[in-house]
Structure 1
Amino acid sequence: MAKVVCFGEIMLRLAPPGYLRFEQANAFEVVYGGGEANVCVSAANYGLDAAFVTKVPDNPIGQAAVNEMRRYGVDTTHMARGGERLGIYFCEKGASQRPSKVVYDRKYSSISTARKEDFDWDKIFKGAQWFHFTGITPALSDSAAEAVLESCKKAKEHGLTVSCDLNFRKNLWTSEKAGKVMAAYMPYVDVAIANEEDAEKVFGIKAQNTDVTGGSLSHEGYKDVAKQLKDRFGFKTVAITLRGSISASDNNWAAMLYQDDQYHFSRSYPIHIVDRVGGGDSFAGGLIYAMLSDYSAKDSLEFAVAASCLKHSIEGDHNHVTVGEVKTLMAGDGSGRVQR
């Protein structure tokens, strides 16, 4: 069984029930999640040996986050304890033409106090094949950014495949700082994952003839983005998710993969959204599973897109689908008929 290690933050998500606005809510539903945590749960769900590395407070709320990961079969052995609080985010689900809203309350979270000395990467990476991180963790603090750089160096020393989801968050840092910090990690990255805007916001590489807000996506524009990323940083694989936003409730969902000088585009799924948080993470989790399972480049892409398509139908941050369900959708059965 292949071993995957993910490093990042797990957060407490507080959300009004259903589609209530923040101002209407007199209660919040509790969910745990976070970019790298979501990927790790997907990997474990597909049967991989998945280990999540983070730093959580040594209190009952931190333990609740640890228990959440254990619940899904994720190895939490190498989590560090310390700091004062678990990061929180508030999520108001949008509908129709009203967009979703996210409000962060993560300043001074435990992971932002993480130092490279908190983690024994030689021990953590023993027996592992894959390491995944995102652009969110280094945005939290300079010490967290140093810890990420150390993890990348150690991952390559141990011969792991390294994947990075650029995951730019404008509320956490500027494009200028993101570009400078993230560039230092890229020589260690084999598989780069991005969405329609990440490459532009982090590295200034923009897809031509594309209007994300209007839902217009150019295949040729994204081919150029992928090639520029590979040429600049030497990635083996570049994957870009393609979200055509019709409204907050309905999107078209597809992706592109560039590998061995070949461009692959997935089928496009029209999706009616139940919960879009974690959609990109579920794509990354599906891609990691498929590549570790020796799928072809095209099949790896189709598995990742089908997996993330299904995630949009599931409440919460994590993707609770089986390999069989993903393969059924890949094979063309998206009817949604009752399974008896």
Structure 2
Amino acid sequence: MSKFVTFGEIMLRLAPMGYERFVQSKEFSVVYGGGEANVAVSLSNYGKDAYFVSKVPKHEIGQCAVNELRKYGVNTDYIARGGERLGIYFCEKGASQRPSKVIYDRAHSSISEASSEDFNWDEVFKDAQWFHFTGITPALSDNCAEITLEAVKKAKEKGVMVSCDLNYRKKLWSSEKAGKVMGEIVKYCDVIIANEEDAEKVFGIKADATDIESGKLSEEGYRKVAKELFDRFGLKYAAITLRESYSASDNGWSAMIYDGKEFIRSRKYDIRIVDRVGGGDSFAGGLIYGLSSGMGSKDALEFAVAASCLKHSIEGDFNLVSKEEVETLMKGDASGRVQR
């Protein structure tokens, strides 16, 4: 079976119970997750041979993160051990007109201080079919940026399909640095995934007639974004997720993809959010599954959007749904009726 490899940071997520605010909570729930780890879990759930590459500390908290991945069938053979700490983020869930809030405590994490010697990419990519990373990983440190560039070069050398979710994080780096670093890395990508603001913040590619704050999105504007990304970097696919934020509790969710021949817009789902963390990662996992399994662009897109729609109903970072559950929604059964 071909390997599906993801590379990035897995973190400890601490969250107040329910919809409590940080200042009122007396206890936090513990969840593990991170962009590329979330994608690996999705792929494993769909039956792919998923591998997660990272570095975590040798102590028990690092082992807890590894155990959580193993629980869902993700191969952890290439996770390096060492460093002082696992990155942490605190997540307060929003509701109605109050937005969610994230506070990072990830400086000097094991992966951010990793070196090239921690990863044998020749071994990692042996028998690999796909490699996925996000823009978060090279943002963690200059070391991580260099390691990511080494990884994508080796992946292309070995004929591995490469995808990147741009995932711009302003708390990690500036638009200027992101554009410079990512501009070099994505030259080796076949698939780029972006959301309403990633392309603008990283590459200065702005969608016309769009106001992110008000939730007003222009399909025509994002067609131009997808095409410019596609042409600039010689891609096979450019995908855009489209989130219409009516409130923190209710969103419209859809996506589009451009394959060089046509623009395809997915069905739109109006979703009531239980937990939106990992929504974009679940889209990436679904799209990778669809494209790698022989689906056409439209079916792969619809699978990805249905998968990410379901993720918004699940607590935690991971999208704990089966291929069959995604296909049921994809085919039109959105009733939510009890299954007996």
TM category, shorter: over 0.9
Cα shift at 1:34? 0.3
Q: Which residue of 2 aligns with 1:307?
A: 307
Q: Which residue of 1 aligns with 2:237?
A: 237
Cα shift at 1:261? 2.4
Aligned positions, number: 340
Cα shift at 1:232? 1.1
Secondary structure, counterpart of 1:321 in structure 2: coil
Q: Aligned letter for 1:241? A: T
Q: CA RMSD in A?
A: 0.6
Q: Aligned letter for 1:7? A: F
**Residues 6 and 133 in structure 1, CA contact (< 8 A), matched pair in contact too:** yes
TM-score in terms of structure 2 length: 0.99
**Residues 166 and 192 in structure 1, CA contact (< 8 A), matched pair in contact too:** yes
Q: Which residue of 2 aligns with 1:14?
A: 14
Q: In structure 1, how many angstroms separate the alpha carbons of the residues matched to 2:179 and 2:115? A: 21
Secondary structure, counterpart of 2:13 in structure 1: strand
Q: In structure 2, how many angstroms separate the alpha carbons of the residues matched to 1:60 and 1:129? A: 32
Cα shift at 1:260? 2.6
Q: In structure 1, how many angstroms separate the alpha carbons of the residues matched to 2:211 and 2:261? A: 26
Q: Aligned letter for 1:209? A: A
Equivalence map 1:286-297=2 (5 Å): 286-297=286-297
Q: Which residue of 1 aligns with 2:251?
A: 251
Cα shift at 1:2? 3.5
Q: Aligned letter for 1:30? A: V
Q: Which residue of 2 aligns with 1:40?
A: 40
**Residues 2 and 292 in structure 1, CA contact (< 8 A), matched pair in contact too:** no
Q: Which residue of 1 aligns with 2:213?
A: 213
Q: Which residue of 2 aligns with 1:263?
A: 263
* 1:71 matched to 2:71: yes
Q: In structure 2, how many angstroms separate the alpha carbons of the residues matched to 1:99 and 1:215? A: 14
Cα shift at 1:27? 0.3
TM-score in terms of structure 1 length: 0.99
Cα shift at 1:212? 1.4
Q: Which residue of 1 aligns with 2:169?
A: 169
Q: In structure 2, how many angstroms separate the alpha carbons of the residues matched to 1:184 and 1:58? A: 33
Any gaps of 5 or more consecutive residues in structure 2?
Answer: none
Cα shift at 1:117? 1.7
Render the CA deviation track for 1:215-246: whole Å, top value 9, x for unaligned: 11111000000111111111110000000000
Q: In structure 1, how many angstroms separate the alpha carbons of the residues matched to 2:61 and 2:175? A: 32
**Residues 5 and 130 in structure 2, CA contact (< 8 A), matched pair in contact too:** yes
Q: In structure 1, how many angstroms separate the alpha carbons of the residues matched to 2:115 and 2:150? A: 10
Cα shift at 1:115? 1.3
Any gaps of 5 or more consecutive residues in structure 1?
Answer: none
Q: Which residue of 2 aligns with 1:118?
A: 118
Q: In structure 2, how many angstroms separate the alpha carbons of the residues matched to 1:209 and 1:92? A: 31
Secondary structure, counterpart of 2:235 in structure 1: coil
Q: Which residue of 2 aligns with 1:225?
A: 225
Q: Which residue of 2 aligns with 1:201?
A: 201
Q: In structure 1, how many angstroms separate the alpha carbons of the residues matched to 2:282 and 2:247? A: 21
Q: Aligned letter for 1:300? A: A
Cα shift at 1:132? 0.2
Q: Which residue of 1 aligns with 2:151?
A: 151
Cα shift at 1:186? 1.4
**Residues 230 and 260 in structure 2, CA contact (< 8 A), matched pair in contact too:** no
Secondary structure, counterpart of 2:248 in structure 1: coil
Q: In structure 2, how many angstroms separate the alpha carbons of the residues matched to 1:330 and 1:312? A: 15
- Which segments of structure 1 move beyond 6 Å, counting only runs of 4 or more? none
Q: In structure 1, how many angstroms separate the alpha carbons of the residues matched to 2:168 and 2:242? A: 16
Equivalence map 1:47-196=2 (5 Å): 47-196=47-196
Q: In structure 2, how many angstroms separate the alpha carbons of the residues matched to 1:214 and 1:143? A: 37
**Residues 51 and 75 in structure 2, CA contact (< 8 A), matched pair in contact too:** yes
Q: Which residue of 2 aligns with 1:329?
A: 329
Secondary structure, counterpart of 2:270 in structure 1: strand
Cα shift at 1:112? 0.4
Q: In structure 2, how many angstroms separate the alpha carbons of the residues matched to 1:177 and 1:171? A: 12
Render the CA deviation track for 1:23-63: whole Å, top value 9, x for unaligned: 01000000000000000000001000000000000111111
**Residues 277 and 316 in structure 1, CA contact (< 8 A), matched pair in contact too:** yes
